Each structure stands twice: as structure tokens, then as C-alpha cells.
């Protein structure tokens, strides 16, 4: 992992210069010319963040984030791991794609982190809110730690807040401090839904929330400027699927049956609170690399351990014309959101230029790889020799019949002549 030096005075000056540029850009919504509707690049859903203290709050967040280089790098890596899940859910709902940056200020994309007030997971959901949004929390499972399920719940709640205020700045403020406090702040502002008027009546911590969100978005989109690199997790952590298990089984047993490290099984299934899965009638879904699912299904059915032939390989594809990630992914039969991570795309509106190599990963069986067949020897063509004309058997037969009739007639005439 790349080491990032502690921000010096020189870095701080550069930071403040960049922040001035950010403040001029944030709040705009643009679309790439000629791009499909689903490739809208909302630079930010945050409105005006040029109020008193906003610039200082953004600077403070970025400085604190970069103060610990290793943690900053790991947070970026986790973001790359969970972006495909979050972006897919946002796109399906038609929600702004920049909401994918919200877990950075909530949890730094850590699935099991808990706050002092009891919020947990990527989206830091409180138990009551999580249950209201359909998540399961009990002795065995806390689905607030499940990346996919908690994302659906978090977005459900954000959608509810946006429908309440019709303004993303107020929705994000309510996500931080609760809609009750935002409602009271709106009342003090004379019923106005203008965030700039409501802001002064919000809690001090909430006033910093939007600038921090803007700072998180800037950090992830411009990671290279701060000495960070995109170093995603093992591909087995990305190319995954679900298996429903009905019987009691330990996580160690799953690791042994799939030949995976126990740590990987645990990281892929952070919502499981125990070291085993209980026997249940409805079953429980367990996430694992796609390449081991057949092997594990065989183990569940027979109890037999077998070797897994499947591997993950990297390939490169060169496109002929400029295109977007969605069209290229469709041709390659991979997820467009995975493809974006694999090729360091910052946004779904990024374009792929003609002749540029596109990196993608596939599952394959090395035992069934077909060796390249050498091309056939070049054929040598001789001068054309016409075939003999096909005989007309019917015509020849008629000639033969006529000939026989003539002979017969001549013989009869000879006999009559001899008899006379």
C-alpha cells in the first residue's frame, strides 16, 4: 500500500486551493453529452456549502482522513469493494449516484463498526430504523452489517427522507440528526425548505455533515492527487454468489469445504454474529466466491470434499469504437459496476476510448482449456480442367431402341423377300 506523508503546510495550501475550486463546482448537476440517461453524472447532490464554517469543516475532514495514510488507503480499498453493490442499487432506484460516497463519512465502508449510540454497518443504521426498513436483527444475524441488505435499507430511508423534503441537502441533514430535529429547524425558519435558511437552526454536528460529504466525494474521485492508489481486494471477494443453507454448519466447515481462508468467509458474511449457522426451515444465505459454489453444493448434498477446478483469470479486450461501461460489460458478460472498479473508473459517465484495453476477470476451468488449433495448410489450386459432359442416358436409350427396331424391320423384309 502506498504511504501518504502527513500533510505539511505546503499540502495544506494546495488543499485550500482545491477546496475553493470544489465550492464553485458542488451543487451542479451535469450530464455527459450523448450519454444514455443512466449515465448521468451528478457531481454533487449537495446544495450551497459556502456558509460560515463549511470550508473549515471540509478542510478538517480531508486533513483528518489523510492524517493516517494506511487507514486512508484501506478505506479507499473497501470503497472499491462495495461500490458495485451500492451503484447497482442506486441506478435501479433512479437515485443520485453520488450517494455512494455517504458511507465514507458514516463508517469508512466498514461493515461491522458500531457507534456509541448503537448505529451499525456501512450506513450506520439504528436498530429501530433498520427493523422498520425490513432488516433482521437477532441472536444469530445483524443484517445492518450485510453490505447488500443494509444498502437497500439505507437507500429506503434516504428515499423516505427525500420524499419528505424534496431536497437532498435537507434529506442528508435528517439522515444525520433525525427528521424530527430537521422538522423543528424548518419550523424555526418559518417553514422554509431552503437549506441555507434552515441550516442555522440545525445541530452544530449536522452543519458539518454536508461539507464532510463533499470532502469525502472529492477524496475518492481525486485519490491520486493525495498519493492514494486503487488496490481492490482479491477477485474472489468481488465475483461472488449466494448459497442458501438449511442445516447447522460452522463457518470453519464452510472454509474447509471450499478451501477458502476462514477470514474470507467471515469478511464476505459480516452479518453472521456466531461461528456457525443454525438449522432453520427458511434457511440462511451465505455469500462465497462464485468459483466454489458448485464444489460447496456438492459437499452439502453428499458430505464429500472434492477438488475445485475453477480459477479466476484476467483478460484484456480492445474496443473498436468509443463506448460506455454498460455496453462493453454486456458484450463481455460481466457486471458493468465490477468493470468500472477493475478499470479505475471514477464515475459511470466515464467513457472508454477506441483501441483502449479493457481489463476484466472471468471464472474458468484450466482442465478444459482448449489449446489453440493451428490454421489448416494453405490449399494449392490447380488450373481448371472441365469435366466430361454428362451423358444423356434417355437419349442414348431411345437411339438404341430405334436401332433395334430398324434391324427387326430389315430382318422381316429379308424373310418376306426370301419366301417369294
Catalytic residue IDs = 106
Tally the C-alpha atoms within 13 A of residue 316's C-alpha that lie toward its C-beta: 4
- Residue that the C-alpha cell 499540502 belongs to: 11
The answer to whether residues 118 and 127 touch, using CB atoms and an 8 Å cutoff, is: yes
d(CA 330, CA 412): 89
Nearest to 50 by CA among 218, 214, 223, 225: 214
3-class DSSP assignment, residue 253: helix
The SS3 assignment for 144 reads helix
| 8 Å CB contact between 243 and 293 | yes
Distance (Å, whole) CA 16 – CA 59? 7
Q: Which run of H or E residues covers position 324?
A: strand 323-324
> Position of cell 462464485?
290
Phi, psi of 364 (to 5 degrees): -150, 160
Q: Could you tell me if 20 and 208 are in contact, meaning their C-beta atoms sit under 8 angstroms apart?
A: no
The angle formed by the CA atoms of residues 366, 371 and 375, to the nearest 5 degrees, is 165
Cβ neighbors of 396 (< 8 A, separation 6 or more) are none
Question: Pairing relation of β-strands 249-250 and 276-277?
Answer: antiparallel
> Nearest 5°: CA angle at 347, between 344 and 353?
65
Of 223, 177, 227, 219, which Cα lies nearest the Cα of 198?
177
Spatial CB neighbours of 144, under 8 Å, sequence gap ≥ 6:
120, 121, 123, 125, 127, 130, 135, 137, 150, 153, 271
Q: What is the DSSP string of 173-201?
A: HHHHH-HHHHHHHHHHTTT---HHHHGGG
Other C-beta atoms lying within 10 Å of the C-beta of residue 366: 9
Amino acid at each position: 500500500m502506498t504511504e501518504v506523508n502527513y500533510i505539511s503546510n505546503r499540502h495544506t495550501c494546495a488543499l485550500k486551493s482545491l477546496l475553493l475550486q470544489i465550492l464553485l463546482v458542488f451543487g451542479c448537476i451535469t450530464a455527459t453529452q450523448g450519454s444514455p440517461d443512466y449515465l448521468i453524472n451528478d457531481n454533487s447532490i449537495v446544495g450551497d456549502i459556502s456558509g460560515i464554517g463549511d470550508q473549515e469543516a471540509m478542510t478538517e475532514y480531508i486533513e483528518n482522513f489523510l492524517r493516517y495514510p494506511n487507514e486512508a488507503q484501506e478505506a479507499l480499498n473497501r470503497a472499491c469493494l462495495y461500490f458495485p453493490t451500492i451503484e447497482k442499487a442506486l441506478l435501479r432506484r433512479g437515485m443520485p449516484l453520488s450517494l455512494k460516497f455517504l458511507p465514507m463519512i458514516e463508517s469508512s465502508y466498514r461493515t461491522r463498526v458500531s457507534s456509541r449510540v448503537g448505529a451499525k454497518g456501512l450506513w450506520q443504521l439504528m436498530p429501530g430504523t433498520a427493523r422498520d426498513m425490513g432488516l433482521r436483527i437477532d441472536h444469530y444475524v445483524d443484517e445492518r452489517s450485510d453490505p447488500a441488505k443494509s444498502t437497500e435499507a439505507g437507500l429506503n430511508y434516504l428515499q423516505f427522507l427525500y420524499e419528505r423534503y424534496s431536497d437532498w441537502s435537507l434529506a442528508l441533514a435528517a439522515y444525520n440528526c433525525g427528521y424530527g430535529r430537521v422538522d423543528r429547524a424548518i419550523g424555526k425558519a418559518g417553514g422554509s425548505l431552503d437549506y441555507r435558511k434552515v441550516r442555522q437552526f440545525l445541530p452544530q454536528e449536522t452543519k458539518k455533515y454536508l461539507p464532510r460529504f463533499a470532502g469525502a466525494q472529492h477524496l475518492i474521485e481525486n485519490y491520486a492527487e493525495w498519493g492514494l492508489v486503487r488496490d481492490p481486494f482479491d477477485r474472489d471477494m468481488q465475483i461472488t454468489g449466494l448459497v442458501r443453507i438449511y442445516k447447522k454448519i460452522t463457518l470453519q466447515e464452510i472454509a474447509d469445504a471450499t478451501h477458502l481462508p476462514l477470514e474470507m468467509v467471515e469478511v464476505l458474511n459480516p452479518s453472521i454474529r456466531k461461528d456457525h449457522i443454525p438449522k432453520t426451515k427458511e434457511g440462511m444465505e451465505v455469500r462465497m466466491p462464485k468459483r466454489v459454489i458448485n464444489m460447496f453444493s456438492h459437499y452439502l448434498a453428499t458430505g464429500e470434499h472434492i477438488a475445485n477446478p475453477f480459477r479466476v483469470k484476467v483478460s484484456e479486450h480492445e474496443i473498436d469504437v468509443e463506448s460506455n461501461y454498460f455496453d462493453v460489460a454486456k458484450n463481455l458478460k460481466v457486471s458493468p459496476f465490477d468493470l468500472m472498479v477493475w478499470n479505475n473508473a471514477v464515475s459511470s459517465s466515464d467513457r472508454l476510448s477506441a483501441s483502449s484495453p479493457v481489463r476484466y476477470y472471468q471464472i474458468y476451468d484450466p482442465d478444459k482449456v482448449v489449446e489453440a488449433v493451428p490454421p489448416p495448410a494453405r490449399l494449392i489450386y490447380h488450373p481448371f480442367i472441365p469435366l466430361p459432359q454428362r451423358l444423356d442416358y434417355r437419349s442414348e436409350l431411345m437411339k438404341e431402341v430405334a436401332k433395334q427396331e430398324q434391324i427387326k424391320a430389315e430382318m422381316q423384309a429379308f424373310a418376306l423377300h426370301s419366301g417369294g
